[in-house]
Amino acid sequence: MKHKPFFFPLIIIIVLSFGCSKKSESQLFIGNTPIDTNTIVTGIETPWEILWGPDNYIWFTERPGRVSRLNPETGNKQLILTIEDAFEYGEAGLLGMALHPDFSSSPWVYLVYNYTEGSAIRERLVRYIWNGSVLEQGSTLINNIPANSFHNGSRLVFGPDNKLYMSTGDAGNTSSSQNMNSLAGKILRINPDGTIPSDNPNPASYIWAFGLRNSQGLAFTPQGFLYGSEHGPSSDDEFNLLEANRNYGWPSVNGFCDLPDEITFCQANNVKEPLYAWTPTLAVAGIDYYNHAAIPEWQGSMLMVALKASKMVSLKLSADGQSVTEVANWFDGYWGRLRDVCVSPDGRVFIAVSNRDGRGTPRAGDDRIVEIVAKNTIGVNDIVSPEDEVKIFPNPVTDQARVQWASASGDISYQILNPAGIVSRIGTATGPEFSIFTRNLNPGYYILRVISRGQSAAVPFMVM
């Protein structure tokens, strides 16, 4: 039988990914770092913002209007607010969230959501007080921001200057982005009490940066630089270094200033070009900065997740923060559409999966929040036999494979875990050699875990 043309490259991928997997059940490596992926919570609906709170809980919004607190160690979640008038339609609904940086003395939670006024869709910024069990005493800080069923932004993030930064989309009216009388298509800078900071570029306006189309990712680095992801139109998704009073070009400029009309506009308007741009577009969404030794390959990188492209991108920043020196792609298609990412102080990465947002194909258990954690130790539940003890062939598997576990004694139970660490299939066998069936499993990496009389072993394999 002739090999299919793509057969050989897949084998290479397996060797690269699992060549060092002898003492690990890890499904994946980030460079040389073995990692585990775990699902923290399932059955949620279009999680939009996830952030690591000062209480070591993950705080998250769901687009229909819910705010919850999630214990990342147990997966227990607690609903702390439902915004009844949040208007979820298309890309609209409850979006970004930020906690005041001095949360113990100012337990304020900022939220941005869409609502309707007559037949018009609008956006507002609100602030609630955390009383230790729920969010209460909501008050509106900015009302009547232009919005639509699409292109509403909106991320919220506090800067080291204790000001709140908010992205807004062009709301489908592209001319708004260059219109300094409109709050659409901008980065706004806001005092914690909702007033305009006196040191804004225009002390009478919230506008801090402009010429943006639809930014759904904002993050500061410890250096104090603000970065943003930006949805391009049919081309040129962008990663921007955002600066006060700068013009980011939309709608006259897509990505870099590299077409004759763009060059003219950029020179006349002091346009700040992106640090990086993607064509075809990925549908870039949440970003967060990774600076932990747990996954050294990501240290000093902005992590950015993508919806349409269903992957995470790491963007290594130069020492001065002014450029991107390295770009790499991760988890391509493993979970589906990815909406947001946050990093814990101990170097774990959490991702909000968004397959229920109307543009995805939900998988069992969606939507979910998943964890990426460096695997430094092997726990008592992760006893792994030498890798040559469990054999699976052929590998990659198409429909069916034979498994041999030489040292098995007695009945065997087995699990097939998908890349998210979810058990996709279970079965039993009565002897050391048996068959597994992989029909209806999506192509990708899996782990076969076999268990017999308190012993377990695991072997990675691939389904084509």
Under the rule (CB under 5 A), what is the footprint of Ca ion?
248-249, 254-256, 258, 262
Strand partners, 246: none
Q: By C-beta, is 324 or 451 nearer to Ca ion? A: 324
Burial, 1: exposed, middle or buried (Cβ in 10 Å; 0-12, 13-18, 19+)? exposed
Minimum distance, C-beta of residue 169 to Ca ion, in the bound complex (Å) = 13
Query: 3-class DSSP state for residue 18?
Result: helix
Q: By C-beta, is 266 or 370 nearer to Ca ion? A: 266
154 φ/ψ angles, rounded to the nearest 5 degrees: -145, 125
Q: Which of 301, 374, 375 is nearest to 341 (CA)?
A: 301
DSSP calls for 328-371? EEESTTTSS-EEEEEE-TTS-EEEEE-TTSSSS-PPTT-S-EEE
For residue 396, cis peptide bond before it (omega within 30 degrees of 0)? yes
Minimum distance, C-beta of residue 255 to Ca ion, in the bound complex (Å) = 4
Q: By C-beta, is 61 or 216 nearer to Ca ion? A: 216
Say what the alpha-carbon torsion angle 122, 283, 212, 142 is, to the nearest 10 degrees. 30
Minimum distance, C-beta of residue 170 to Ca ion, in the bound complex (Å) = 12
Residue 233 tokens read as 């139109």
Minimum distance, C-beta of residue 213 to Ca ion, in the bound complex (Å) = 7
Minimum distance, C-beta of residue 266 to Ca ion, in the bound complex (Å) = 9
Calpha distance 446→363 (Å, rounded): 16
What stretches of 222-341 show up as alpha helix (H) in DSSP? 260-269
Minimum distance, C-beta of residue 228 to Ca ion, in the bound complex (Å) = 10
Minimum distance, C-beta of residue 177 to Ca ion, in the bound complex (Å) = 9
Calpha distance 296→274 (Å, rounded): 26
Minimum distance, C-beta of residue 217 to Ca ion, in the bound complex (Å) = 14
Calpha distance 87→113 (Å, rounded): 8
Q: By C-beta, is 207 or 397 nearer to Ca ion? A: 207
Calpha distance 124→363 (Å, rounded): 32
Q: By C-beta, is 185 or 300 nearer to Ca ion? A: 185
Minimum distance, C-beta of residue 246 to Ca ion, in the bound complex (Å) = 10
Q: By C-beta, is 40 or 275 nearer to Ca ion? A: 275
Q: By C-beta, is 88 or 236 nearer to Ca ion? A: 236
Q: By C-beta, is 109 or 324 nearer to Ca ion? A: 324
Task: Give the list of residues 6+ apart from residue 156 with CB closer than 8 angstroms, or none.
Answer: 49, 96, 97, 98, 110, 111, 112, 125, 164, 165, 166, 218
Q: By C-beta, is 17 or 174 nearer to Ca ion? A: 174
